Amino acid sequence: MTAGDPMTRSDAVLVEQARVVLRANDRGDHTEPTASGLYPAQWNWDSALVATGFATFDIDRAWTEIRTLLSGQWADGMVPSILFHGDDSSYFPNSRVWRAGAAVASSGITQPPILATSVRRLVERTPHDRREQLLAEVLPGIRASHEWLLRARDPEGTGLVAIVHPWESGMDNSPVWDAALAAVPPEPPVAHLRRDTGFAAADDRPRGPDYDRFLNLVTGFREVGYDPAAMWAHSPFLVADVGFNALFLRAQRDLLWLLDEVASPDPAGRARVAAQIERQRRALAQRWSPTLRRYCSYDVRHHREITAPGVGGLLPLYAEPALAAEHPELLETLRTWRAAVTYGVPSFDPRDPAFERRRYWRGPVWLVVNRMLADGLRAGGHPEPADVIDRDSLSLLRRSGFAEYFDPVDGSPLGGRDFSWTAAMALVLLS
């Protein structure tokens, strides 16, 4: 669909169905990713994206989602990846495993920092006379979360922040992490504790040894009381993920926009963020690989480049739309990946031996990533590839509903069903 196309009947039906999904997963002040029991809590980046879906038809409910997410922010500024608000017994690792969070029980790690970007979207849909008060409520928390990331995850001031757990990337079991994760012992085995495979096909979910390593990291972090300095010093997994950094750079640019929205200017605060952005932009630019024609993450712990071709390596397009002009090869990479499947954008290069079309972040299409890439391409003056991505997203929605993710080869629905963030992306796409 391009701007100006009339909404077809099936688009109107999709919009109504997407609203039904969000309402069904709505727990009043936060939204669960799916009603099935697979994820009985509030996930950070899911929630921020879901808010942008609510914003298309219920702006007050959208702001409530953000407020609830910030209610679980830690005193040091971290916004945890998961907030546990109620009965989480159908999930592992739940609040009894993490044993973290003060005001709200939570995980002890974070997730892609997209809050400022979502809040900007909400502000754009909020009447002018209400913006000031809402921004006063959320801006301090957003700024603190960015400062926390820079302090805790880039203590040496390189311009790139590092993640300590693949879960923080949001792309949990991407082959991009395989080599770095190999340093984490796959023990103790947690197969008997896992609950996810009771709700979704085991072939769609991360493998057993990956889960064992995921939990091994959690236990290590819990033992040091989730102290950021200790996690930085000792986590066997420490990676500067280009996807995470791209989303953070985008969020910093959106934070600047938000700072410019408030009535009372803060020139010193603005200058500080602008200087951070410059440093981040320069550092991200260093991660460009001319031979691989995409951005590459860096294994900080083992001092080596990560060359595995994950979709995070294309996300700088979203951080900085002008990058497509600087590196037109990125568009070629995107085209090649798309040409190898039926529906784009696969989360991993389909021509690579590690590609798996059904297994979570090892190949399937995720509509949240599609939305970000299409947005970045359009903003950078590339409407054609953006239209191709949007058409694929709509075809998947029409064919398979609001699945958690999709098979890029035959379009079949994978993971959980009636998923909140997929419904939210349908609403954003069709609004």
Chain residues that interact with ligand DGY, rule: CB under 6 A: 81-82, 167, 172
First and final C-alpha spacing in the chain? 11
For residues 199 and 257, which CB has a smaller minimum distance to ligand DGY in the complex? 199
Q: Is residue 29 annotated as a catalytic residue, yes or no?
A: no
For residues 176 and 296, which CB has a smaller minimum distance to ligand DGY in the complex? 176
Point out the catalytic residue in the list 254, 404, 407, 418.
Answer: 404
Q: Is residue 384 annotated as a catalytic residue, yes or no?
A: no
Tell me the DSSP string of 179-234: HHHTTS---S--TTT--GGGTS-GGGS--HHHHHHHHHHHHHHHHTTT-HHHHHHH
Provide the token pair at 301.
């712990």
CB environment 53-64: b (16+ within 10 A), e (fewer): bbbbeebebbbb
- Please state the closest distance from residue 6 (CB atom) to ligand DGY, in A: 38
- Which of 308, 2, 296 has the alpha carbon at shortest distance from 182? 308
Inter-CA distances, 273 with 118, 146, 159, 201, Å: 18, 9, 12, 44
Provide the token pair at 274.
């602008």
- Please state the closest distance from residue 64 (CB atom) to ligand DGY, in A: 22
- Please state the closest distance from residue 38 (CB atom) to ligand DGY, in A: 8
- Please state the closest distance from residue 23 (CB atom) to ligand DGY, in A: 23
Per-residue three-class SS string for 331-380: HHHHHHHHHCCCCCCECECCCCCCCCCCCHHHCCECHHHHHHHHHHHHHC
- Please state the closest distance from residue 172 (CB atom) to ligand DGY, in A: 5
Is the distance from CB of 308 to CB of 179 less than 8 angstroms? yes
Shortest-Cβ-distance residue relative to ligand DGY: 167
Point out the catalytic residue in the list 26, 172, 196, 375.
Answer: 172
Provide the token pair at 78.
């971290």
For residues 45 and 402, which CB has a smaller minimum distance to ligand DGY in the complex? 45
**Angle, helix 367-379 to helix 420-430, in steps of 10 degrees:** 30
For residues 111 and 245, which CB has a smaller minimum distance to ligand DGY in the complex? 111
Q: CA-to-CA distance for 33 and 403, rounded, in angstroms?
A: 11
For residues 167 and 226, which CB has a smaller minimum distance to ligand DGY in the complex? 167
Catalytic residues: 172, 404
